[in-house]
């Protein structure tokens, strides 16, 4: 999208200008989250891959998760990862 704008070709005292519009493709999941079964007290890593880098939000039900000692979120490139530590049965 940052390539959008007016481009000009100049030859001596003549010029030709055109506008370039770039339409963004929607983000899609290249790799979806997978179901996990983990023992109480352990940690789990949930990971998905997007078609391009974009901000994500992690939720459990309708509750938005925030980074803490329990929830660690990272997003290197197009991979989004959530690590949940010290799992409790209520984390299911």
The structural domains of the chain, ordered by start, are: 25-84 (2.60.40.10)
> pTM for the full model?
0.76
**Per-residue pLDDT reduced to its tens digit, 69-92:** 999 999 999 999 999 999 999 999
* 20-66 pLDDT tens trace: 999 989 999 999 999 999 999 999 999 999 999 999 999 999 999 99
**pLDDT classification of 14: cutoffs 50, 70, 90:** very high
Residues 6+ apart with CB under 8 A from 20: 3, 4, 5, 6, 7
Q: What is the DSSP string of 18-56?
A: EEE--PPPPP-EEE--------TT--EEEEEEESS----
- pLDDT of the residue at 1: 81
């Amino acid at each position: 999208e940052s390539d959008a704008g007016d481009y000009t070709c100049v030859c001596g005292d003549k010029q030709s200008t055109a506008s370039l519009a770039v339409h963004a493709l929607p983000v899609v999941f290249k790799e979806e989250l997978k179901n996990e079964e983990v023992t109480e007290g352990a940690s789990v890593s949930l990971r998905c891959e997007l078609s391009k880098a974009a901000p994500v939000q992690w939720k459990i039900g309708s509750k938005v998760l925030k980074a803490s000692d329990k929830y660690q979120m990272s997003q290197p490139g197009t991979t989004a990862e959530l690590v949940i530590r010290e799992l409790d049965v209520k984390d299911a």
